[in-house]
Amino acid sequence: MKVTRPIFLSVMVALVFVVFAFLPKLENAEKESILLKTIVDVVETYHFAPLNIDDQFSEKVFNLYINRIDRGRRWLTEEDMKILSVYKLKLDDEIRQGKFDFLDISVAHLEKGVRKTETFYKDILAQPFDFSTSETVVTEGNEKGFAANDKELKEFWRKNLKYEVMTRLANMIEEQGKLPEEQRESEAQLEEKARKKVLDLYDGWYKRMAKLERHDRTTAYLNAITNVFDPHTSYYEPVQKQSFDIEFGGKLEGIGARLQEDDVYTKIVGIVVGGPAWKTKQLEEGDLIMKVTQADNNEGVDIKGMRVDDVVQLIRGKKGTKVRLTVKKADGSILEVPILRDVIVLEEKFAKSLIVEGEEQTEIGYIYLPGFYADFEDKSGRFCADDVTIELEKLKKEGVKGIILDLRDNGGGSLDEVRKMSGLFIEQGPVVQVKSRDRRPEVLSDTDNRVQYSGPLIIMVNNFSASASEILAAALQDYDRALIVGSTKTHGKGTVQRFIDLDRTVRGSTELKPLGHIKLTMQKYYGVAGKSVQLTGVIPDIVLPDYLHYVTTGERDYEYAMDWSEIDAVSFNQDVYKIKNKLELKKRSEARVARDSTFQAILEYASWIKKQQDKSEVVLNLKEYQAQEAKRNAEVSNYRELMKKEYLTKVRNLTVELGDLATADESKKARNEEFISTAKKDIYLREAIAIMQDMIATHALVKR
């Protein structure tokens, strides 16, 4: 079987598939059966650590699936669970047979739960709440277990709805306090308005649930199966794979508009500057799309009640083709807008740089890299290693004394790109070890002895720096080539995935295709020193406190995450620059942080966040809640104010970019101004600059 080649190291944010609403007829029972058998066969054959499909596996799938479809314990009761639990140890047999009996009966019970709870919330919200009583509600549904029966379930709904109304009522009362007394409404009037808001919210939610289709439920069940192997092995429907490729490559073919459901229509909520929709000068944020017409179709498709995913598929298309959107404007007028589709480049996904300066008036280069992107479909497309190379060259021409590479919130991407990027900072040598099942580790190396940048280097990371980010940080840390600065640890994803096109694994059955793809964990990666980052992450050389300082986050939070392991080190060395006095740099940074009131306030906020995380029960008395909210709002407000302050004054664009910016459109200028403004408000960047100045001043990086 041929495996699709690019190798991915990006974090999968676990999707919570809510699988309910009305049970339709099977779209294609034969296709579902083949899909299930094929996925399991591929995973068993190629997964790094395959599992036995047995009763133990069945129980894990059962529990994971149930927790996902009713995480809040809103629809199922213990009575439902008694029936569904019959399948707890039978799913392994169903999987082998390609059967979906359990899926069918679970959705039937969810259908029943949705129908009865729709009457629950409508009845409950029809009457005023009494907020003077002393009662509490557990907000985390899966901590309380399932309701014993419908009576207990309705009481659970009553308390949760009361909580939601109370939070809105408290906000309304706070806003009322800002108005003149003669304009204020009574608490009873506000309570009625709050209930109406919650009613509208739930009506909209249930409408969206009703749009779920059979393939949504099937995908949710299939991912409960694959995620028992590990959280990053996932099934992608064809449309989901298309969206992944767009996100990964940073470009798409279409009109360049961001859409979301708005009651029965689809609303335009964003327009990509420079894209086809922007060029028409006729489409605006807030426009409601009513009909989509292809160039060769005069009738068009009325999209009323259609899912936004389906609307997107109608609008997307090949470069050079035409589509007409019939939209309703804010003033109520109806307009048909013809658009010529084109390639849209999502500039915010790509590397960019600035010149920053600290107290010592030393100019430092700053490169922000949001992801390890690569356009595998187009050799002339954007690749992050090439882009970072360009930024390095521009910064060197500016004469910067050091460079800070920002990988915060960078979820990873292409394995080959991180290998090439590591080579920008060392002559040559191993970068990462990749191990497949039952095979010796393969050492991926930089074989180019050129060094694009040989000066002082800091890499910034946080809890959300993952995969490829962790490979780069770990490699340059092992080489003593870069100083790693950031949160207590990085995400901790030490596995490698590849996409496999399921159509290539099934001979014939053309009428059932496309089947989609599976993103499969086939390898683990290790640093050159033999250490894995799985679960543990990369521990920065210098830790800076952030709001998650005391909270456990990352890979270890995922159910069925793979274990940590270790292999032999490989020989590695570099003769560019080596950091000699990390301990001294750490002491200096810790001293600055200790006497900095902002960092100390952040630590206090982090402690408060930890306490809030440990709470799952909330009070339903309005006055008590308002008192608690006053304290909470004060904490949050203080923290937000800290993040609004400017900690850097000298931040500028590179000289070579000023000409292009002078003639750029207003939106591009605005994005650039926001980039600079964000950098100025970044206290962590300020401290990284101070560390860099220490490195330079104390000759921390000594050429050998």
Task: Report DSSP letters for 66-115, one per residue.
Answer: HHHHTTT--S-BHHHHHHHGGGTTTHHHHHHHT--HHHHHHHHHHHHHHH
> In the chain, where does the domain assigned CATH 2.30.42.10 lie?
251-345
Structural fold of domain 348-494+528-587+647-702: 2-enoyl-CoA Hydratase; Chain A, domain 1 (3.90.226)
User: Nearest 5°: phi and psi at 286?
Assistant: 100, -15
Q: What is the pLDDT of residue 667?
A: 67
> In the chain, where does the domain assigned CATH 3.90.226.10 lie?
348-494+528-587+647-702
Low-confidence ranges of the chain (pLDDT < 50): 1-5, 12-26, 700-704
From the DSSP assignment, how many helices (H) and strands (E) are in the chain? 21, 25
Q: Do residues 365 and 398 lie in contact, with contact meaning Cβ atoms separated by under 8 Å?
A: yes
Peptide bond into 514 cis (omega under 30): yes
Closest CA relative to residue 688, chosen from 367, 348, 471, 352 = 367
Q: What is the pLDDT of residue 143?
A: 60
Q: What is the pLDDT of residue 37?
A: 95
Q: What is the token pair recorded at 102?
A: 């359990």
Q: What is the pLDDT of residue 699?
A: 66
Q: What is the DSSP letter of 535?
A: T
Q: How far apart, in Å, are the Cα atoms of 477 and each of 57, 264, 371, 571?
A: 39, 53, 19, 15
- The Cα 684–Cα 602 span in angstroms is 11
User: Nearest 5°: phi and psi at 291?
Assistant: -150, 145
- The CA-CA-CA angle for residues 545, 465, 601, to 5°, reads 15
User: Nearest 5°: phi and psi at 416?
Assistant: -65, -35
- The Cα 571–Cα 429 span in angstroms is 9
Q: What is the pLDDT of residue 703?
A: 45
The span from the first CA to the last CA of the chain, in angstroms, equals 49
- The Cα 230–Cα 495 span in angstroms is 10
- The Cα 194–Cα 230 span in angstroms is 42
- The Cα 555–Cα 492 span in angstroms is 5
User: In terms of CATH, what superfamily is 251-345?
Assistant: PDZ domain (2.30.42.10)
Residue with tokens 């003669």: 182
Q: What is the DSSP letter of 211?
A: T
Q: What is the pLDDT of residue 14?
A: 33
Residue with tokens 């750490």: 586
Q: Do residues 140 and 616 lie in contact, with contact meaning Cβ atoms separated by under 8 Å?
A: yes
Q: b/e for 403-431, b at 16 or more Cβ within 10 A?
A: bbbbbbebbbbbbbbbbbbbbbbbeebbb
Q: What is the pLDDT of residue 205?
A: 86
- The Cα 190–Cα 184 span in angstroms is 10
Q: What is the pLDDT of residue 532?
A: 95
Gyration radius of the chain's alpha carbons: 28
Dihedral, CA of residue 513, residue 51, residue 558 and residue 209, to nearest 10: 40
Q: Where are the alpha helices (DSSP H) in 273-383?
A: 276-280, 308-315
Q: Where are the alpha helices (DSSP H) in 291-414?
A: 308-315, 384-398
173 Cβ neighbours under 8 A, 6+ residues apart: 187, 190, 626
Strands 363-368 and 542-543: unpaired
Q: b/e for 219-248, b at 16 or more Cβ within 10 A?
A: bbbbbbbbbbbbbbbbbbbbbbbbebbbeb
With both helix axes pointing from N to C terminus, report the angle between 101-124 and 187-210 in degrees, rounded to the nearest 10: 160
With both helix axes pointing from N to C terminus, report the angle between 150-176 and 187-210 in degrees, rounded to the nearest 10: 130
Q: Do residues 136 and 155 lie in contact, with contact meaning Cβ atoms separated by under 8 Å?
A: no
